[in-house]
Amino acid sequence: MRQRSRSTIALAFLALVGSGCGPAGGRPVALFGEPEEKQLLRIQIQNNNFNDATVHALWEGGGRRRLGTVSGKGSGIFTLDWTNTRPIQLEIDFLAGGECTTRAITASPGESLQLTIGVDESSVCDATN
């Protein structure tokens, strides 16, 4: 677990199952050679902290991608191409210093994840998986 500053805060990382398991969930089905719709993972981030936070997605096999920056007291929505069900972690790097990594959560294509960055400085980011 990495802890580098007072600004390390509590995180809630939840999978929202709203997209369903198949075509009945609202995703179109490819017919007769039509290209399939890209399979995406949607990540919503609410930053309740005063510090700006840069967020990276991490996944097995050394995958890493910068999602973007969420300003203090702001929010952002990011998407990733996501073709398999697999674990994902989010790394949060605060502009004012300090960083932490969430615990791994299994995500499937078409799902939405929600990350809330809290203001409580006495809590820490959970980096176990």
Q: Which domains does the chain have, with CATH numbers?
A: 11-20+37-117 (2.60.40.2890)
DSSP string for 14-82: EEE--S-SSGGGTPPPP-TTPPPPPPEEEEEEEE-SSS-EEEEEEETTTEEEEEEEE-TT-EEEEEEE-
- The string of pLDDT tens digits covering residues 92-122 is 999 988 888 999 999 999 999 999 998 865 4
d(CA 91, CA 83) in angstroms, rounded, equals: 21
pLDDT digits (tens, 9 = 90+) for 22-54: 444 455 555 665 555 679 999 999 999 899 999
pLDDT at 118: 87
Q: How far apart are CA 44 and CA 79, in angstroms?
A: 9
